[in-house]
Amino acid sequence: MNHKQSIERAAPALLVALGIVTALPAAAQSAPPRHDEWAFRATVYGWFPGLSGTTEFPSGAGGPSIEVNADTLIESLKMAFMGTFEAQYGRWGGLIDWFYSDVGGDKAGTRDFVIRGQPLAAGVNANLSLDVKSNIVTLAGTYALIEKPEYSMGSVVGARMLSMDQTLNWAFNGTGPVGIARSGTTEVSATNWDAIIGVRGRARFGGDLRWFVPYYADIGTGNSKLTWQALAGLGYSFGWGEVMAAWRYLDYEFKSGEPLQSLTFNGVAVGVSFRF
């Protein structure tokens, strides 16, 4: 039998590091360099994401499923790293990005879950803990399609890798029947590669066109049934780079029978982009 974990959390943690995860460097683009010059970009940012999704945990010992809402367990960020590098030569360019986060939490004496769709027997509760480690790596080529003072648009073609490890620990308290082992640990690991295609750009406004509205969208498939991403926000340009705030949404729908069933990152991102 499988243990099934329903993940729905709103993380209060601030993820701050060097880089961006696909959308931010794509959206925070400026006019392309001259055709005979290279240009590079790095971004420092913070992201306030919510995480939701569904995962099936194989128990390894049989017994019915245990269904847990992770928003009652995941409380804090343990570790995070984000790094990106983007290069552009004329209209052509490319980027590589790596995002890592480790979030988790625990709850003692809880009855906020069900076993095989049924509540616990009277007098029984449990101590639960959940840890979720996420890696997202993006490799993509870019091409500037339109470049005007007031508006720019470009294409993105590449691949995105998602690697996730989730660990659930439980220990039951009380003397009533529970239908599964009184304590245990179960883990799910999955790695998905997906081809992606998308668009990015910005609309500039204001007397000197320093204000801009960045946008980004992509869609893809491969090991996943479907993945898509979208971003929109507001920014301001300086001679050395830009500052920006945006809302970013990244969604995965996995194929039937996979341990990961669905996954969504959703929240506000703020960043400072440096050009050199």
Range(s) of the domain holding residue 166: 2-275
- For residue 251, the model assigns a pLDDT of 93
Q: What is the pLDDT of residue 73?
A: 62
Instruction: Evaluate whether 273 touches 23 at the Cβ level (below 8 Å).
Output: no
Residue 145: its pLDDT value, please?
A: 95
Q: Which residues of the chain have pLDDT under 70?
A: 1-36, 57-75, 114, 116-117
**How confident is the model at residue 11, as a pLDDT?**
38
pTM to 2 decimals?
Answer: 0.79
According to DSSP, the β-strands at 2-10 and 66-69 are: parallel
Q: What pLDDT was estimated at residue 128? A: 83
Question: Would strands 125-147 and 241-254 be described as parallel, antiparallel, or unpaired?
Answer: unpaired
* CATH of residue 155: 2.40.128.100
Total count of domains within the chain: 1
Lookup: tokens for 17: 């590091």
